[in-house]
Structure 1
Amino acid sequence: MNANDNTPSGQTPPTTPPTLPATGLMRLSRVLELIPISRSSFYAGQAKGIYPPSVAIGPRARAYRVEDIRALIEKGVA
């Protein structure tokens, strides 16, 4: 064991669950850390209206509003 923590040597410490900022935008990779589904399942759910639409942040870049993702998680869909 290391003197600085309670993790036995050779093991990685447990990770803290991802948290959401108060406002802003998130890329899909970050959204999928909070909603444990595949990218293709997210896109299929988005087409069905289950998951929120993305917003353009550049010519080839999309992101999701934190408020929409928070509402989705609180609603229990995620």
Structure 2
Amino acid sequence: MLRLTTAEVGNHVERFRAIYRLSLDDPADSGVHEALVCHFSEYALAFMARGDRSELRDANPQVIAQFMAHGFAGAIKA
């Protein structure tokens, strides 16, 4: 499921490359980056809620979700 999602994100970014390039390169426009982080954070939390997290029982899901979300958003920006 994670691989399919990653492929879908890649396809989406390719389709809207020009828009992302304009908005993510503009230091005055942080809205798109923040929207991406919010979306990926919510998705990561939902993804983790559906799976067996027994090995992560002591981990903070919010921290994991934020880490993943910022990683995806950073990769898109790069």
Is the helix fraction higher in 1 or 2?
2
TM-score where L is the length of structure 2: 0.21
- Of structures 1 and 2, the one scoring higher in RCO (CA 8 A, sep 6+) is 2
Is the strand fraction higher in 1 or 2?
1
The structure with the larger Rg is 1
